[in-house]
């Protein structure tokens, strides 16, 4: 059942096809369970449609599509040092966003936000028996962000901007897995630590420019994954991912002095995934999965106007000798949201009926 390897690719697209938060990959570690020496090179593209309308206070103007397409390259390598010890590393872009309000929005025309991260995680896996193993490692992460507030909503504060220079931080990964090889069963639990960053931040508001250090933390998370054979050449897979988004805050001094409203205001999320796969022949395997993230609160910020999602994924794997190509497409329906500004005590826009489509491809070579 070589097609089970596509579970990791589905995980990546399932998370980012939501396009509602900053989670871009789901931080999978499934490559560490591959047999032998394996190299992977992947690429995913996500195309969200996230549009709404200003509130009636600002004439109800359309916002246009505020979410940009996102590209997600990735790579990993894993080797067995002994029959019990494996070493690997993965390169990915675990968190990111790119939001721009077009000129049609009276309230927010020209408002922008962007965040980008890159990480390298080194992993070790030790097998105590053929059924029980532990895994863990260190994660080095770089991050940067920037945003600008423009439009009628911000009044004299319109034109404010902040640039948070690239910073590096260190975290860790730790987990365990239980397997029954004869049943093609594996259950794994992986903890990803939070990573602290201190950004040198340049704020500009009118004639004032201020350079300061702003602390922010990318969230801790917990991934539960499983795969199991249920019939000859047929398997089920799935999992759940919890992320502590509620601790993510940006508080640049000029902005904090001007308003009590946060730039971003997330609730913790849990994303669920359940799918089935079938090996069609020696070379072809197909998969299908459902993805769901419950709504947490329709009151969001202007920069994060999505609340939960649900969707479906289809995958196809082609295998020949020691080479494999994994392909996947994910479509999601994004949850409706009504951005709220507490300083005004009212909602300032509404977003509904939005969706996202993502596709991915991964090349796998076994040595």
| Angle (nearest 5°) at CA 104 between 342 and 154 | 30
Q: Is the pLDDT of residue 13 over 60?
A: no
Mean pLDDT, to the nearest integer, of 273-296? 92
Q: Is the pLDDT of residue 261 over 80?
A: no
d(CA 38, CA 253): 47
- Residue 309 confidence (pLDDT): 92
* Average per-residue pLDDT for the chain: 89
Residue that has been written with the tokens 């609160």 in this structure: 297
Of the pLDDT bands very low, low, confident and very high (cuts 50, 70, 90), residue 20 is: very low
Phi-psi region of 155 (alpha: psi -120 to 50; beta: other; left: phi over 0): left
Of the pLDDT bands very low, low, confident and very high (cuts 50, 70, 90), residue 18 is: very low
Global confidence as pTM: 0.91
What are the structural domain ranges in the chain?
2-366
Write the DSSP assignment of 34-98 as a string of letters. Answer: SSSSEEEEEEEEEEEE--EEE-GGGTT-B----BPPEEEEEEEEEEESSSSEEEEEEEE--BEEE
Mean pLDDT, to the nearest integer, of 225-235? 92
Closest CA to 188 of 140, 235, 238, 230: 238
Of the pLDDT bands very low, low, confident and very high (cuts 50, 70, 90), residue 10 is: low
Q: pLDDT per residue over 93-114, tens digit each?
A: 999 889 999 999 999 999 999 9
Closest CA to 133 of 175, 95, 163: 175
Q: Which of 35-44, 166-175, 222-231 has the highest mean pLDDT?
A: 166-175
The token pair at 309 is 């999602």
Q: pLDDT per residue over 60-86, tens digit each?
A: 999 999 998 888 999 999 999 999 999
Q: Is the pLDDT of residue 9 over 60?
A: no
Q: Is the pLDDT of residue 48 over 70?
A: yes
Q: What CATH fold (topology level) applies to the domain 2-366?
A: Porin (2.40.160)
Phi-psi region of 186 (alpha: psi -120 to 50; beta: other; left: phi over 0): beta
The token pair at 40 is 């992977």
The token pair at 329 is 């497409």
């Amino acid at each position: 059942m070589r097609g089970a390897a596509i579970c990791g690719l589905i995980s990546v697209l399932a998370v980012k096809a939501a396009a509602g938060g900053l989670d871009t990959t789901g931080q999978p570690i499934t490559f560490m369970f591959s047999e032998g020496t394996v190299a992977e090179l992947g690429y995913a593209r996500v195309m969200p449609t996230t549009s709404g309308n200003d509130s009636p206070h600002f004439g109800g103007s359309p916002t246009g599509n505020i979410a940009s397409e996102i590209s997600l390259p990735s790579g990993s390598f894993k080797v067995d040092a002994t029959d019990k010890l494996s070493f690997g590393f993965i390169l990915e872009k675990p968190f990111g966003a790119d939001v721009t309000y077009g000129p049609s929005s009276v309230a927010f025309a020209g408002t922008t936000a962007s965040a980008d991260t890159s990480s390298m995680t080194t992993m070790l896996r030790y097998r105590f028996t053929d059924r029980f193993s532990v895994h863990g490692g260190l994660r080095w992460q770089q991050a940067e962000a920037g945003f600008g507030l423009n439009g009628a909503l911000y009044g004299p504060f319109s034109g404010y901007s902040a640039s948070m220079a690239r910073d590096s931080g260190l975290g860790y990964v730790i987990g365990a897995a239980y397997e029954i090889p004869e049943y093609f069963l594996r259950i794994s639990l992986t903890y990803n630590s939070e990573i602290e960053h201190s950004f040198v931040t340049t704020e500009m508001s009118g004639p004032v420019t201020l350079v300061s250090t702003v602390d922010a933390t990318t969230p801790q998370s917990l991934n539960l994954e499983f795969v199991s054979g249920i019939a000859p050449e047929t398997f089920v897979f799935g999992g759940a991912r919890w992320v502590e988004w509620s601790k993510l805050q940006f508080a640049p001094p000029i902005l904090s002095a001007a308003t009590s409203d946060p730039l971003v205001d997330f609730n913790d999320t849990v994303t669920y995934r359940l799918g089935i796969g079938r090996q069609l022949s020696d070379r072809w395997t197909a998969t299908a999965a459902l993805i769901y993230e419950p709504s947490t609160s329709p009151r969001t910020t202007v920069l994060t106007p999505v609340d939960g999602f649900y969707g479906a994924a289809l995958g196809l794997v082609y295998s020949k000798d020691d080479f494999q190509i994994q392909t996947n497409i994910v479509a999601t329906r994004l949850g409706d949201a009504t951005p709220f500004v507490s300083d005004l005590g009212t909602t300032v826009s509404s977003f509904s009926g939005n969706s996202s489509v993502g596709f991915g491809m991964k090349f796998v070579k076994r040595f």
